C-alpha cells in the first residue's frame, strides 16, 4: 500500500518514458521500485506504454477527494475517462447553459499526472436532460449540434478522443429509438461525428457501446454502421467496446471481433472494462476474473489497431456495478481495501511485467488467444489413437468467419499432445487461430495443441478457434481426425 501511495509522478514523465521506449531504451530502468504490492516492480501504465498502449480508468469528481483513489489513479493509469462529468446532464443542464467545471477538474487531474483523457460522451440517450427530449423534433438537430460544438470546442486539444455517440444500438442490432433518431433517423450519427470533427479535428472520434465485444447481431450492426460511415467519408476513428463482463463470460470471439473492426480502418478501445460476480466473491470467481482480465488484455495487445484498455473505476468500492446490478460486485482489479487482486497480477503479467505468478496461476487461460505460435506447437504428436467427438460453431459475416471447435476425448485413455486434422471448405483461408496453431491456411489443415493445452484427459475436452476469410462458403470444417483417428460429429 505504501508504494501505491507514493508521490504522484511529475507531468511529462509519460512522454519521457515514451521517448525512452522510442529510443530503444529499457523502460525498466525508469520504473525501478515503483510497483505496488503483489506486482514485480512496475505499474500498469508503464507496462502498457512500453507496448505502445495505455491503461486507463474512469474517475468521477467525488473520487478526486479520496487520496487513496487518486494515489492509485495517478500512478497506475495513464488515461482518464470522466465517469459522469462530460455527460449532457452535467455539461448543459438547461438549454444553452453550459457547465464545464466538473469536467475541467478531471482534466486538471489528468494533466497533473501526465494522463490523457477520453472524452465521454457527447450524444447519449441516457443522462440526457429532459429539456432535450421535450424539444419539438424540428429543434433537436440544432440543439445537438450546438451541444457538440460547444463542448468539443471547450475541450479542444485537451482530450485524446471523444465517445461522440454512446450506446446507439438495441440488443438485436436495430437502432435505439430516442430523441435523436426520432428527429433525424439514423443520420444523426454521421451528423454528430461531422460536427465533433469540425470542432476538434485532432480528437479521435469513437462510437461506444456494450455487448458488441463478441461476434453477434449487435456487433454486426456496429460493424455495418462503421463500414458505411467509412464508405461515405464520415470522420470516425474508433469503436469503443465497453466490456462490462460477467466472470467466465468474456466472449471467445473478442479478438476476432477486434480484428474485423480494425480491418475496416478504425481503432478499437476497451473503454469500460469490469468483470462482475455475485458478492461476496468466491475464490473461484476471483481466479476466473484474473483469467478474464488477462484474456481481455491479451486480446487487445494481439491486434495492433486495439489502442488500449480502460477499466471503469479504480477499485471495487468506487465501481458502479453494485449500484446497477443487484447482488453483483467485486468487478475491478482492486478489492474493498484498494489492495490489488489476482486480476491485477494477471493484468501485469499479460502486459509483460512481473515475475511473481498470480495467486491462481491463471495467466494462461484456456481460452486465451495465441500470439506467439512459435512457442506453442508440440514438436511431435505421439500417435495415441483416440476415439473422439468434434463439435463446431461458426459465426460468419460477409467475407469472414470465426469457427470454434471443441474436441472431446471419448477414448478410455488420456491424450497428451494432439493434432486435429480437418478439411476446410473451398475458398476459406485461415488468418489466425487461438488455443492452437493451425496450418496450412487452406484445404487439408491441422490444428496442433499449444504447450498449455496438450492434455485431453479421457472423457475431457478442449476448444480452440480460428478466423478465416471466405468467398461465399462459410460452412464449418469437416472430416476431423484426432492423432490420425476419425472423430464423430457431436
Ligand atoms: C455510469 C456511471 O458509472 C454511473 O455513475 C452513472 O450513474 C451511470 O453511468 N456505460 C457508459 C457509462 O457508457 O457512461 C456508464 O457510466 C456505465 C455504462
Could you tell me the CATH number of the domain that includes residue 63? 3.20.20.80
The pLDDT assigned to 395 comes to 79
Taking the CA of residue 210 as reference, the ligand 1 atom at the shortest distance is 10
User: Look-up: residue for cell 494533466?
Assistant: 111
Domain for residue 383, yes or no? no
Predicted TM-score of the model (pTM): 0.70
Residues 102/140, Cβ–Cβ less than 8 Å? no
Residues 95/63, Cβ–Cβ less than 8 Å? no
Residues 382/483, Cβ–Cβ less than 8 Å? yes
The pLDDT assigned to 490 comes to 82
> Does 128 share its domain with 250?
yes
213 pLDDT above the threshold of 70: yes
Domain for residue 382, yes or no? no
Q: Which of 304-308, 381-385, 474-478 has the highest mean pLDDT?
A: 304-308
Dihedral of alpha carbons 445, 449, 451, 452, sign: positive
Q: Who's near 470: CB < 8 A, 6+ residues apart?
A: 396, 399, 400, 401, 425, 427, 428, 429
Residues 30/10, Cβ–Cβ less than 8 Å? no
Give 12's pLDDT tier (boundaries 50, 70, 90): very low
Residue 265 CB: number of other CB atoms within 10 A?
12
Q: Domain end: 367, 399, 429, which one?
A: 367
d(CA 364, CA 305): 23
Domain for residue 376, yes or no? no
Quote the ligand 1 centre to 380 CA distance (angstroms): 51
Please give the residue that has the higher pLDDT: either 260 or 13: 260
151 is catalytic: no
Burial class (CB in 10 A: 0-12, 13-18, 19+), 107: buried
> Does 304 share its domain with 452?
no
Q: What is the average per-residue pLDDT within 189-207?
A: 98
HSE at residue 278, side-chain half, CA atoms within 13 A, is 2
Which CATH number is 409's domain given? 2.60.40.290
Query: For 319-366, how does the pLDDT look when each residue is reduced to its tens digit (9 = 90+)?
Result: 999 999 999 999 999 999 999 999 999 999 999 997 544 333 333 333
**Ligand 1, atom 6, residue with closest C-alpha:** 84
Strand partners, 328: 278
Taking the CA of residue 124 as reference, the ligand 1 atom at the shortest distance is 13
Q: Domain end: 336, 367, 398, which one?
A: 367
The pLDDT assigned to 8 comes to 35
Residues 351/46, Cβ–Cβ less than 8 Å? no
Its domain, for residue 464, covers: 388-489
User: Look-up: residue for cell 486539444?
Assistant: 157
Quote the ligand 1 centre to 116 CA distance (angstroms): 19
Instruction: Look up residue 89 and give its three cell numbers.
Output: 446532464
The pLDDT assigned to 31 comes to 31
Alpha-carbon torsion angle 189, 191, 193, 195, nearest 10: -150
Query: For 411-469, how does the pLDDT look when each residue is reduced to its tens digit (9 = 90+)?
Result: 888 888 889 999 999 999 998 877 788 999 999 999 998 776 788 888 888 888 888 99
Residues 174/219, Cβ–Cβ less than 8 Å? no
d(CA 464, CA 485): 19
d(CA 277, CA 274): 10
Instruction: Look up residue 245 and give its three cell numbers.
Output: 463482463
> Does 211 share its domain with 316?
yes
Tell me the Ramachandran region of residue 86: left when phi exceeds 0, alpha when psi lies from -120 to 50, beta otherwise. Answer: alpha
Q: Which of 57, 61, 320 to mutate to test the pocket of ligand 1 (most atoms within 8 A of CB)?
A: 320
The pLDDT assigned to 458 comes to 85
> Does 336 share its domain with 456?
no
Residues 406/463, Cβ–Cβ less than 8 Å? yes
Phi–psi pair at 447, nearest 5 degrees:
-105, 125
Pairing of strands 161-166, 116-124: parallel
Determine whether the shortest distance from the Cβ of 163 to ligand 1 is under 6 A.
no
**Closest Cα to residue 292, out of 228, 356, 244?**
244
Tell me the Ramachandran region of residue 380: left when phi exceeds 0, alpha when psi lies from -120 to 50, beta otherwise. Answer: beta
Helices 283-301 and 342-350 cross at an angle (nearest 10°) of: 20
167 is catalytic: yes
304 pLDDT above the threshold of 70: yes
DSSP letter at 62 equals G
Helices 283-301 and 254-262 cross at an angle (nearest 10°) of: 20
> Does 7 share its domain with 121?
yes
Domain for residue 147, yes or no? yes
Domain for residue 372, yes or no? no
Taking the CA of residue 60 as reference, the ligand 1 atom at the shortest distance is 5
Quote the ligand 1 centre to 323 CA distance (angstroms): 11
Determine whether the shortest distance from the Cβ of 53 to ligand 1 is under 6 A.
no
The pLDDT assigned to 140 comes to 98
Domain for residue 481, yes or no? yes
Residues 346/291, Cβ–Cβ less than 8 Å? yes
> Does 326 share its domain with 217?
yes
Residues 151/85, Cβ–Cβ less than 8 Å? no
**Ligand 1, atom 12, residue with closest C-alpha:** 83
- Number of structural domains found in the chain: 2
Taking the CA of residue 167 as reference, the ligand 1 atom at the shortest distance is 13
Burial 431-444 (b: 16+ CB within 10 A, else e): bbbbbbbbeebeee
> Does 345 share its domain with 463?
no
Determine whether the shortest distance from the Cβ of 242 to ligand 1 is under 6 A.
yes
The pLDDT assigned to 452 comes to 66
**Ligand 1, atom 13, residue with closest C-alpha:** 166
> Does 59 share its domain with 153?
yes
> Does 433 share its domain with 321?
no
> Does 256 share its domain with 401?
no
Q: Who's near 364: CB < 8 A, 6+ residues apart?
A: 452
Q: What is the average pLDDT value for the chain, to the nearest integer? A: 86
Taking the CA of residue 166 as reference, the ligand 1 atom at the shortest distance is 13
User: Out of 49, 92, 151, 167, which one is annotated catalytic?
Assistant: 167
Query: For 94-141, how does the pLDDT look when each residue is reduced to its tens digit (9 = 90+)?
Result: 999 999 999 999 999 999 999 999 999 999 999 999 999 999 999 999
Quote the ligand 1 centre to 97 CA distance (angstroms): 23
HSE at residue 304, side-chain half, CA atoms within 13 A, is 2
DSSP letter at 87 equals S
Domain for residue 380, yes or no? no
Of 154-158, 251-255, 262-266, 366-370, the range with the lowest mean pLDDT is 366-370
> Does 178 share its domain with 325?
yes
Please give the residue that has the higher pLDDT: either 287 or 416: 287
Quote the ligand 1 centre to 439 CA distance (angstroms): 44
> Does 33 share its domain with 138?
yes
Domain for residue 379, yes or no? no
Amino acid at each position: 500500500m505504501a508504494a501505491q501511495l507514493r508521490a504522484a509522478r511529475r507531468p511529462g514523465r509519460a512522454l519521457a518514458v515514451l521517448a525512452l521506449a522510442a529510443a530503444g531504451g529499457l523502460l525498466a530502468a525508469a520504473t525501478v521500485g515503483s510497483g505496488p504490492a503483489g506486482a514485480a516492480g512496475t505499474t500498469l501504465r508503464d507496462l502498457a506504454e512500453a507496448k505502445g498502449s495505455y491503461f486507463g480508468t474512469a474517475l468521477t469528481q467525488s473520487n478526486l477527494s479520496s487520496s487513496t483513489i487518486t494515489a492509485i489513479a495517478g500512478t497506475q493509469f495513464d488515461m482518464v475517462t470522466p465517469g459522469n462529468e462530460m455527460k449532457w446532464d452535467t455539461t448543459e443542464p438547461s438549454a444553452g447553459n453550459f457547465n464545464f467545471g466538473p469536467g475541467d477538474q478531471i482534466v486538471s487531474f489528468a494533466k497533473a499526472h501526465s494522463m490523457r483523457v477520453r472524452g465521454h460522451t457527447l450524444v447519449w440517450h441516457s443522462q440526457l436532460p429532459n429539456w432535450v427530449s421535450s424539444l419539438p423534433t424540428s429543434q433537436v438537430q440544432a440543439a445537438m449540434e450546438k451541444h457538440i460544438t460547444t463542448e468539443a470546442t471547450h475541450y479542444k486539444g485537451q482530450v485524446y478522443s471523444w465517445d461522440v455517440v454512446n450506446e446507439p444500438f438495441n440488443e438485436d442490432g436495430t437502432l435505439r429509438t430516442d430523441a435523436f433518431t426520432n428527429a433525424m433517423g439514423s443520420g444523426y450519427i454521421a451528423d454528430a461525428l461531422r460536427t465533433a470533427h469540425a470542432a476538434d479535428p485532432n480528437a479521435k472520434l469513437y462510437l461506444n457501446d456494450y455487448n458488441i465485444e463478441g461476434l453477434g447481431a449487435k456487433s454486426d450492426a456496429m460493424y455495418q454502421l462503421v463500414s458505411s460511415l467509412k464508405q461515405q467519408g464520415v470522420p470516425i476513428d474508433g469503436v469503443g467496446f465497453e466490456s462490462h463482463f460477467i466472470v467466465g463470460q468474456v466472449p471467445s470471439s473478442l479478438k476476432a471481433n477486434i480484428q474485423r473492426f480494425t480491418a475496416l480502418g478504425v481503432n478499437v478501445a476497451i473503454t469500460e472494462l469490469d468483470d462482475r460476480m455475485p458478492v461476496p466473491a468466491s475464490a473461484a470467481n476471483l481466479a476466473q476474473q484474473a483469467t478474464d482480465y488477462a484474456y481481455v488484455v491479451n486480446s487487445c495487445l494481439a491486434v495492433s489497431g486495439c489502442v488500449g484498455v480502460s477499466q471503469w473505476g479504480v477499485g471495487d468500492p468506487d465501481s458502479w456495478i453494485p449500484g446497477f446490478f443487484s447482488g453483483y460486485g467485486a468487478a475491478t482489479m482492486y478489492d474493498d481495501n484498494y489492495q490489488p487482486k489476482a486480476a491485477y497480477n494477471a493484468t501485469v503479467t499479460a502486459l509483460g511485467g512481473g515475475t511473481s505468478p498470480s495467486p491462481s496461476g491463471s495467466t494462461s487461460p484456456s481460452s486465451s488467444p495465441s500470439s506467439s505460435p512459435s512457442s506453442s506447437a508440440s514438436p511431435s504428436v505421439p500417435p495415441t489413437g483416440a476415439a473422439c467427438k468434434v463439435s463446431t460453431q461458426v459465426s460468419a459475416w460477409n467475407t469472414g468467419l470465426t469457427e470454434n471447435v471443441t474436441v472431446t476425448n471419448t477414448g478410455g485413455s488420456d491424450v497428451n499432445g494432439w493434432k486435429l486434422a480437418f478439411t476446410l471448405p473451398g475458398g476459406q483461408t485461415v488468418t489466425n487461430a487461438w488455443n492452437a496453431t493451425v496450418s496450412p491456411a487452406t484445404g487439408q489443415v491441422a490444428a496442433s495443441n499449444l504447450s498449455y493445452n496438450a492434455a485431453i484427459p479421457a472423457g475431457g475436452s478442449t476448444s480452440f478457434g480460428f478466423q478465416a476469410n471466405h468467398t461465399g462458403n462459410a460452412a464449418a470444417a469437416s472430416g476431423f481426425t484426432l492423432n490420425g483417428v476419425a472423430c464423430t460429429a457431436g
